[in-house]
Amino acid sequence: MSKMAEVQTHSIYATPEDFCAIFKENMEILYSLALLLTGDPAIAEQCFLAALGDCQDRPNVFPEWARSWSRRSIIKRAIRRMDPAGSFRATAAIPEEFGDLEIPTRLTKLSLFERFVFAMTVLEGYSVRECAVLLNCNPREVEQTRIQALRRIAGLNPALATAPRASGPQVQSSLDNAA
């Protein structure tokens, strides 16, 4: 590749300086995301710094994607560090009611897997499928956990999160039986 072509190629991608600026300007938000995911300030800081390093080493990211790439790097680092899907499979979360707690406190009380699923699907806007791929689990597990986390944060009875939803003919049948 000629020197001119090389200069033109590199100029269309975000530079390490661009990522430094993004991490500096959005430090609170990115650190908060890492803290929500990990639940530990020291680990959140490690994830933040490792993600910054990952972004600075990434040569082919368009400037328009640099902010979302930074957030995704935080998430990927936290996944590697915490293994939320492994913790989900290792222990069955016992739903507890926390309707009397403030919303931020409710977020911290979610299980590790619930926090990751909530942050990724609700706060970051990842699809259930994309979340499942990143977490290396089944989309059904993600969807069920997302519903459970939303209900728990809303202060609803956690037992409702696992109850099957009635639809179509089942709804009519239920209404007929209730009458």
CA distance to 53, 71, 128, per residue, from 22 (Å):
13, 10, 27
CA distance to 115, 152, 161, per residue, from 102 (Å):
16, 12, 20
The enclosing domain of 106 has a CATH number of: 1.10.10.10
Domain-terminating residue out of 82, 116, 132: 82
- Report the amino acid identity of residue 104: P
In a domain, 26, yes or no: yes
d(C-alpha 62, C-alpha 60), whole Å? 7
In a domain, 177, yes or no: no
Which of 140, 144, 135, 133 has the alpha carbon at shortest distance from 93? 144
In a domain, 111, yes or no: yes
In a domain, 173, yes or no: no
Domain-terminating residue out of 82, 103, 128: 82
6 and 52 together in one domain: yes
Task: Give the pLDDT confidence of 119-160 residue by residue, as tens digits.
Answer: 999 999 999 999 999 999 999 999 999 999 999 888 765 554
d(C-alpha 106, C-alpha 87), whole Å? 19
Count how many domains the chain has: 2
Q: What is the pTM of this model?
A: 0.76
State residue 103's pLDDT score: 75
Task: Give the pLDDT confidence of 19-78 residue by residue, as tens digits.
Answer: 999 999 999 999 999 999 999 999 999 999 999 999 988 768 999 999 999 999 999 999
Domain with 94 in it: 83-164
d(C-alpha 122, C-alpha 120), whole Å? 6
In a domain, 34, yes or no: yes
For residue 99, pLDDT over 80 is answered with no
6 and 41 together in one domain: yes
